[in-house]
Amino acid sequence: MAQIKLDTKDKRILDALDRNPNLALSDIAKKAGISAQVAEYRIKRLLSQKTIYAFYTLVDPGRLGYTLFRVHIKLKNITEQVYAKFAKDLFDQYPTFWVAFVSGPFDIITDIWARNSNDFEELFRELLEKDTEIIENYEISPILELNLYEYGYFLEERIKRSKTILFRVFSETKTDKLDQKILHEIKTNSRLPYAGIGEKVGLTRNAVKYRIKNMEKIGIIAGYKMMIDFKQFNRLTYKIFIKYDNSKIYEEKKLLLYLKQIPAILSTTKFLGRWNLDIEIEPNDAKELQKFIINLRNKFSIIEDYELIQIIEDFGIDFYPKKMM
């Protein structure tokens, strides 16, 4: 994809929305040094050209009693059309958080929600029976938590980036049908006005505001996130899977604090299984990536082994899949 040229005003807008995706238009305009009307026009343009592809509401199903399971899938020798349909069906027909086509020993990575391991086993058995001619083998790991960071590189490399912790499993928090409808309306556009949401779900503006603020308070809404198309910044996305030397587990906290300071790192995911940590990173180039890995291994002896993959195609992300409702 050709890089889209962004001027300083665009970058100021992106930086402001990176810090606070729901920032008022007047405040965005002030930070960018432009009028509110121009700010609105530029945001619409950034959306239409897919520089920004969503303003996500970070719904946390862990607060609703769900567990997220990471599945690495190796495909049989199939055509591009077949695997693309398989990935799309995986995203549309199951309570799926994320699906991507990747390099390495597996072809597909997906994260799927279930109430517990028994429910997941039943769901995944259904998937295996349906797609026996597609799936060659697989590997499953329960996810313990996702740490999601601000981008932090539009204007300058910020050392102090905010972090949102998601997907830890808690005792179930109850929601009603109206809360669920609100979450569905705002999950890919957190900037929708309360009145507009109210018209769609049959509530007043104030009732919608109260319910959203309450869901923020109890953690069902963990925060908000502007998602961008990183390819427009000439960045590719990689995952580094880390295996720990568990005799040095005391280093994990220091490792995670260090990773939070690296602007190219989008997230870290902790899980059980063959790997302990997943670092998602968008380096400027392969040389920067290799230097980062070498430095990381030298700096932290907790790293026993690692594996590097590239995310080739992202098939979708959904913080509140319909199949969960």
pLDDT higher than 70, residue 158 = no
DSSP 81-140: HHHHHHHHHHHHHS-EEEEEEESSS-SEEEEEEESSHHHHHHHHHHHHHHTTTTEEEEEE
CA angle 152, 154, 160 (to 5 degrees): 20
Kind and range of the H or E element at 306?
strand 303-317
- pLDDT tens figures, 272-287: 999 999 999 999 889 9
pLDDT at residue 153 in the model: 80
Length of the chain as a residue count: 325
Please give the share of the chain, as a percent, with pLDDT higher than 70: 98
Total-model pTM? 0.91
Strand runs (DSSP E) across 108-233, as ranges?
108-114, 135-149, 163-166, 221-228
Rounded Cα gap, residues 321 and 97, in angstroms = 7
Q: How many CB atoms are closer than 10 A to CB 200?
A: 14
- pLDDT tens figures, 289-312: 999 999 999 999 999 999 999 999
Q: Which domains does the chain have, with CATH numbers?
A: 1-49 (1.10.10.10), 62-150+230-324 (3.30.70.3460)
Average pLDDT, the chain: 93
Residue 173's pLDDT band (cuts 50, 70, 90): confident
